[in-house]
A = this chain, B = another copy of it.
């Protein structure tokens, strides 16, 4: 959300040069993050964008803000997918499909998982619709339906599921063929959410 697209009328539109730099930084950040993950050097992002580091910090006061801007449209995609799946006649399958989509996005966009996860805790306040809350809201509906259809245990929360998915993707990020591993692990993990599943004998 570039600042000039806010609905509040009191906010002036960005100046053209500011807008240009904002976009350049975003592009550069996307590249750098794709190559080096969520921990990419902000200084290098600025360098790639041909911009002073102060400019980067003015537009994005924290790494988290930058990540959220970079991944905003991916997250919106996922929310849209969730909305579509809400109409699926099989809510259990819909939920599983969606979680699979989340995982695929997270694996193929380095840093996304980290971004979604971080948002959970140290998300800075006074920042409305973070990626984290967006995606949580989107998934909550799918889970509720699955639950009503007796396709998910009632004690499972959407936070649990997303944490699990993100944890797996994060764990797999430094892995040559992460996609494969993420897939097996997710399949494995998701088997546990169905109510008729066997009781686990843990501890």
Separation in Å of the A66 CB from the closest CB of chain B?
19
Separation in Å of the A11 CB from the closest CB of chain B?
33
**Interface stretch (choices A22-30, A51-59, A164-172):** A164-172
Within 8 Å CB of A188, what residues of B? 156, 160, 164, 189, 192-193
Find the B residue at minimum CB distance from A97: B203
**Interface stretch (choices A128-136, A137-145, A194-202):** A194-202
A168 CA / B122 CA spacing, docked (Å): 18
Give the contacting residue for A202; candidates B118, B181, B187; CB below 8 A: B187
SS class of chain A's interface: helix, strand, loop or mixed? helix
Q: Decide if A191 touches B185 in the complex (CB within 8 Å).
A: no
A17 CA / B71 CA spacing, docked (Å): 52
Residues of A within 8 A of B (CB): 90, 92-93, 96-97, 99-100, 117-118, 120-122, 155-156, 160, 163-164, 166-168, 170-172, 174-175, 181, 184-194, 196-203
19 example contacts (A-B, Cβ-Cβ < 8 A) are as follows A96-B202, A96-B203, A97-B202, A100-B202, A118-B174, A120-B175, A121-B174, A156-B188, A164-B189, A167-B170, A170-B170, A170-B171, A188-B192, A189-B189, A189-B192, A190-B200, A191-B191, A191-B198, A191-B200
